[in-house]
Structures are given as C-alpha cells and as structure tokens.
Structure 1
Amino acid sequence: MSRQGAETWRARVRGCLLGGAIGDALGGPVEFEDGRSIVAKHPDGVRAFLPGGDGWPAGTITDDTQMTLFTVEGLIRAGVRTDRGLGFTVAVVQHAYDRWLDTQTMAAPSGERDGWLQGEQWLYARRAPGNTCLSALTEARKGEARIPQFGAEAVNDSKGCGGVMRVAPLGLLPEYFPTDWIFDSAAAAAGYTHGHPTGKLASGTLAAIIHELCNGAGLDDALSRATDLLKQHDGHEETSTALTFARLLAATAPAGPVTVERLGGGWVAEEALAIAVFAALAYPEPEQFLDALALAVTHSGDSDSTGAICGNILGALHGETALPAELVFTVEGRPVILQLADDFALEFIQGKRLHGDYGPHTTWTTRYPGW
C-alpha cells in the first residue's frame, strides 16, 4: 500500500468507526419509540443528540458501539497472534466478545486485566445489551469464568441484528485480505452469537460492502459486488431480497420515514442492513452525511443499530472529514474510538515495527496480547 493509499485507508477506518458511533448515539434515545411520535417531535428527523432513558446524557453510545470496539481490539490481537506462525485467526474476536461480556456482568474492571480496553471504566455501563449476545456468550463459557475454546458457533436460531451491527471492522482490514475471505470471516464472527444463516450472511455482506468501499469502489459497485458474494451462499434469499428492495426504493420512492418502514423495523439482520443501505443510497454525498443518519434512525424500530450501520457505511465511503462536526465532538468515547482506529492502522501497516521475531518487542504486546 502506498503512503497516499495508507493515509486514505486510515481516514476511512476512522470515519467508519466514528461514523458508526455517531449513528448509534443518534438513534439510541428513540429506539422503541413509534415513528409517528418521533416525526411529530422531529419533523426533519433526529438530527441532534438527545438524552436517553436511564439518565443517559446526549451523545451516549450503546452496546452496538461497545461490541464494535471489542471487534476492533480482537482483530488487532489476531494480527499480533500471527507471530506464532498460526495465521490470522478470526476466533480471537470471540475472545474479545468474552471480555465485553465481563463489562456487562461486572461493575468495574477487575485487578486482572487482559489488554487495555477491558480497563476502560466507561465501557462497563449496560446500554440495553442484546439478550442473544449475552446468552450465547454466557452459554459458550460452559459454567467457567472464560470461554474454554474459541471459535464455536452459537447454538441458536437467532437472526437478530446483534451480529451485523458489530462486524464493520472486519471490512476495514487492508486490501491484501480478499473480499470473499472478509465476507466469510464476518459471517463467522456474527455466528459466535447468532446462529441463523441470515444473521450471519447479512453480517458478511456488510463487511464485504465496507471492504469494497475501502478499496475505492463507489457505493453502487460495492453493493453489487457484495451481493454477488452473498448469492453464492445457501440461505441468502432473505438478505438478497431485502437489499434488492432497499435499492429499488432508493431509486423510486421518497426518502422519508414512511419508505424506511416499508423495509421493516431493523430488529433482524437483513432489515437493519437494508434500512442502512437505503439511507446511504438516498443521501450518498459527503455533505449529506447527517441527512442519511437522520433518515436511518427516524423510524419505529431498532434505530441505534440502523444508524450505526449507516454511519459505518458512509464513514468508510467518505472518510472522517465528512462526519458532521457538531456530532463528532460530543459523541461519547471519541478518544478511545480514535485511539483504537489509529492502533488498528498501526498494526496492519507497521506491525513489524511493533512486534514479532523481526521487529522490536515493545509494550504493544502488553497492550494487545496475541490471544
């Protein structure tokens, strides 16, 4: 990757992760609210951070961003782990989700920390975590303090959006990772908690879209290439149909809440992806970023997840400079989000300077142990 290419890619990484957090925080306070009620209070859509339930201040992120950050950390640690000659192993991401589970079951970090992210006190807030994620990870522990062996799929039939809302970071991996590998790996990562084929395939599709965007494709081309990959998998029909309908509506119907709700509520994976894609297609230009996010969250459904996914897509497409400044500077956790984004870029561009047999042994491996 050239220096200029690396700088563009890094801007997309930052844009994707921060854009997802902004969309998440924008939609969180109106999740579960009826769309007509939202529009009555916000005729132009939700365009500013609102305070949420349980005393959440405006700009608060939810479990969607929490789990996305642990996905990033898991991928960095998978990169470090390749020093052992084992290759890049996605199962390391399940270990990251095991650490996220601690943040939802403990009040504060314990004395025995595993890497640095688990020590961030603000991540220990419970922000309406998905029951499927909690139960699947708890069951994977088999009564022990930790998941004894990583990589096994969840034993359930859930296609909730709790997989697709967190897998965008897999799409951010550099261009030397093939897009079909990205698709399959993101599907596997979603499968650690969601066992239904649609939950996994919608997740693979999102990661493939983001990977193609990061490689320079336009939004339409990225969607087409990802959909072509999707259709090669058994059980693709629900996700393929939802995306086809989203693209049709973007080309023929008004960009408003009524049209969004024709795509569903976003509670299940294919609907969440379709709503996010529709909003991105309706407002695809950099200066329309906030218009797209407002459209993605203003509906009677899982507004934080649809907002997060839309922010992931457009952040990867446009990079960080397109993000709405009035939301960027107040979103919860921005320093940690950007620190992870930059560490992700360091690992996959300059990892040999940080660890490995051919580079210096630094505190990087304390920060990101290879397991």
Structure 2
Amino acid sequence: MTYSASPTPQPQPQPRPHERQAQVQAPPQAESSCPSLEDRAIGCLAGAAVGDALGGPVEGCTPEQITARHGGRVTGIVGPFHADWRTARPLAPYHKGDGHVTDDTLMTHALVRVYEKVRDHLDAYAVAEHLVPDLIDTPRWIPELEAEALPLHRLFLAEKWLVTRLHYGHIDPREAGVGNIVNCGAAMYMAPVGIVNAGYPEGAYAEALDLAGAHQSSYGREAAGVFAAAVAAACKPRATPASVVEDVLRLAKDGTRAAIEAVCEVAGGYTDFEAALTPLRTAVAPFDTVGPVYREPSLGARRPSRTHAIEELPIALGMLLVGAGDFRSTVLGSVNYGRDCDSIATMSGAVAGALHGARTIPVEWGEDVSRASRLDLRAPALALARVAREVFARDRQRRRDHEHAFATIAGA
C-alpha cells in the first residue's frame, strides 16, 4: 500500500515517504554487504536499550515540559527529571535517567533468556513455563532501583498480571491476557521475536500474537504482533523505513492499522522531528484511549476496542520515517515526543537498529548505557542470533517434511 504525504507549511510540496527515502538515504547496500544477522541482532537489542534509557527520564512529560526542564530538547543521556527522585511522585522510588534502562529492557532480555532455554519458536505456554519463573525466581540488577532484586518488584501492574494470572491463577496461558489493561506492555519487549523471524514479518506477527495472548488482549496484543513484524521486516536485505511500514500495514488489523496509516501519512511530510511533534500527536489522538493528559487517563482508557490503538507503536514508526531511519534522529524524535517516550524510543530504536546494525548506534550512548545499567548489550543479542539460526534450520526441515508428506498424500 502507498500513502501520500500531508501538506506542511513549507512552500514546495513534500515527496511521498518512498520518494523521500531515495533523497535522504544512501543507495541500498548490496546483499553481500548488508548487515549480518548477528549485527542486526546487536543493533536491535542495543538500539532498544539505548532508546529506553534516553526516554526514561522524561517519560510522562509533554514536549513543553521537557524543554523547560532541560533548557531545550533532549539530545543525549540526561539525569532524572526530579532531583529528589527517591520520593518525587509519580516516579518514586525509581532512578530514571543517567543511562538507566527501564522495565522495557528488563522484559526484553528476559524474553531472550526464554529463547535460550527453549531454542525454538515460543507460544503462550512458554510465557507460563519460562518467562514467569524468570521474573519471580532469580534476582537481577535493577538499574532504576540501584540494587539487585527480583524483576517482579520493578514491573508495572500490567506486567505483574502475568504472575498473578499464570503463577497464582493457573489460567490457560492462551487466555490469560483477557481482562488486563490494554497498553503497550506486551508490545514493548517483542523485539526478540522479530530477530528469531528475521526477514519473515508474517512469522514474527503470528508468533508474537500467540506469545502476547498470555499478557494482553485487543489492540495491545495486536501491537505486539505488529512490532515484532516491524523488526523482522527491518532485517530484510535492502529494507527501508518505508518498506517496513508497508510490510506491517499488510498485517496490521483494525484500529492499529488505521493508526499506523494515519500517523505515517503525516510523517511522510516531515524531515525534522521538531516540526513533526504536534502533527504526529494530532494524527494518533483519535485512536489513543489515554487522552490528552498522559497522567490523567480518560475513563475509557486501556479498555479493549477494535477501533483504537496504543499510541507508542504508530509514533515509533512515524519517527522512523521522519528520521529516514537514522538512529540518532529517530530516537531523539521519539524521546522528545514525551508521554510514554521510553517505550516509543525502545520500539523505534529496535527497528532502526535492525535496519542498519550495530554501527548505527552512537558509541558513546551504547557505552554509557551499558556501564550505567551494568548491562551487556552484545551477549544477549549474539545468543539470540544463535537461537535464530537453529530455529531457521528446524523450520527448513519441518517445511521439507511437510512437502514430502503433502506430495505423498496429494499424489504430486
């Protein structure tokens, strides 16, 4: 599907997203020189973590509040929004800032560990059998708490739902997400699904939908599938931001599809995130149930709906287009958008990193986040890439077995 750019105040007409890609990006690389699976995995997971850490300190703020606090737009790693972060509402007792990742990254790395155990495609039962025990049994370093603790103690209530429903309630994992609030909780950590299904967005979409059924329903679950598909699409040889958006639009359903289409149509008219901040918010507002004041959600917020969408994923893809896939521009646009900007930057950083590999991430950002969060940004990605290769080999054999069986019974 194509989508046209909307008018902007500039005197000349803006090109469509497809045309703009050709103008601002270097010529596509040859397949032989494109980033390897390992490189894309590192770019994806490190990009997600860096975006998360940059967005954490200004989560929940408006662009105007961000500018007032920092004397301009955020251009890198910054300290906490409140000096008294240990007691300041609504963030206490979390040390957001100074390069600390949030629960987005903690959950992403937990899912990588599940893949390392299962070494195959995952489903909702893998969440119950492996992810939940990882969250409640093994203490890990929690950067925002500046202490070792069970990951469960850092998670938001929408993620604690996993433990409540699956560990204590013994709910069928395929149905455990029903009744949870509908937000970006399931989507924010689905990047590993895209890497395991690298180059195959349809497979990533289906696998993430199955996984996310243990966590969420409705458009929260749909966003999980679409985000995983975006990462997988970004891994295709010669992929561009525009091709990623077109791939996910072929898969997305209901309000999620409509929201992505609306935001990306507007994003196609901008090359500077500063100018795009308000137009993108206006474009996504009809689909967002939270409402204009992020800390004061509307009565109908986060309830199941076929006509609505989470805000984070459409904005992340919109910023990917505005930044033409450049990691720095894409992530900084996501961060300075405000609202749930740590999750927006997690998603946009993951897709931008998968597009171009580890080289796209500013070295100083990666090193600072790794050091501040006591987090290895390479090892989990390399482990995930090894799993992806094993899964691909299994898929190929399964496909051959199916072809042989079908040819036998069909007489082909």
Q: Same fold (TM over 0.5)?
A: yes
CA distance in 2 between partners of 1:71 and 1:190 (Å): 12
| Cα distance, 1:57–1:227 mapped onto 2, change above 3 Å | closer
Structure 1, 37-46 or 200-209: larger mean CA deviation:
37-46
Report deviation, 1:274: 0.7
Confirm or deny: 8 A CA contact 2:48 2:105 kept in the other structure: yes
What code does the residue aligned with 1:97 have? L
What code does the residue aligned with 2:206 have? D
CA distance in 2 between partners of 1:182 and 1:5 (Å): 24
CA distance in 2 between partners of 1:127 and 1:220 (Å): 39
CA distance in 1 between partners of 2:362 and 2:110 (Å): 24
- For residue 220 of structure 1, what is the aligned residue in structure 2? 242
Structure 1, 310-319 or 219-228: larger mean CA deviation:
219-228
- For residue 112 of structure 1, what is the aligned residue in structure 2? none
Report deviation, 1:48: 1.5
| Cα distance, 1:295–1:201 mapped onto 2, change above 3 Å | same
Task: From 204, 223, 234, give the equivalent of 1:202.
Answer: 223
CA distance in 2 between partners of 1:296 and 1:187 (Å): 25
- For residue 35 of structure 1, what is the aligned residue in structure 2? 63
Report deviation, 1:344: 1.4
Confirm or deny: 8 A CA contact 2:110 2:131 kept in the other structure: yes
Confirm or deny: 8 A CA contact 1:95 1:150 kept in the other structure: no
- For residue 344 of structure 1, what is the aligned residue in structure 2? 384
| Cα distance, 1:290–1:6 mapped onto 2, change above 3 Å | closer
- For residue 258 of structure 1, what is the aligned residue in structure 2? 278
- For residue 302 of structure 1, what is the aligned residue in structure 2? 340
CA distance in 1 between partners of 2:221 and 2:312 (Å): 13
- After TM superposition, the score normalised by the length of structure 2 is 0.69
SS at 1:215 equivalent: coil
SS at 1:239 equivalent: helix
CA distance in 2 between partners of 1:284 and 1:290 (Å): 10
Report deviation, 1:299: 2.7
CA distance in 2 between partners of 1:318 and 1:25 (Å): 20
Alignment deviations for residues 105-130 of structure 1 (CA, whole Å, 9 cap, x no partner): x8x46xxxxxxxxxxx7564678632
CA distance in 1 between partners of 2:207 and 2:163 (Å): 18
Query: What is the count of residue pairs matched by the alignment?
Result: 319
SS at 2:196 equivalent: coil
- After TM superposition, the score normalised by the length of structure 1 is 0.76
Alignment deviations for residues 175-221 of structure 1 (CA, whole Å, 9 cap, x no partner): 58x432321111222221112x2111111111111112112222212
| Cα distance, 1:56–1:330 mapped onto 2, change above 3 Å | same
Q: Which runs of 5+ in 2 are unaligned?
A: 1-30, 87-94, 141-146, 291-301, 303-308, 393-412
| Cα distance, 1:258–1:307 mapped onto 2, change above 3 Å | same
Please show how residues 1-371 of structure 1 align to structure 2 within 5 Å: 8-42=36-70, 45-52=73-80, 53-54=85-86, 55-56=95-96, 58-79=98-119, 89=123, 91-102=125-136, 108=139, 122=148, 124=150, 129-142=155-168, 150-156=173-179, 158-175=181-198, 178-195=200-217, 197-216=218-237, 217-230=239-252, 236-253=253-270, 255-256=273-274, 257-262=277-282, 263-264=284-285, 270-285=310-325, 288-332=326-370, 333=373, 335-349=375-389
Report deviation, 1:88: 5.8
CA distance in 1 between partners of 2:76 and 2:324 (Å): 19
Aligned-residue identity in percent: 24
What code does the residue aligned with 1:101 have? L
What code does the residue aligned with 2:47 have? G
Confirm or deny: 8 A CA contact 2:196 2:391 kept in the other structure: no
Aligned Cα RMSD in Å?
3.1
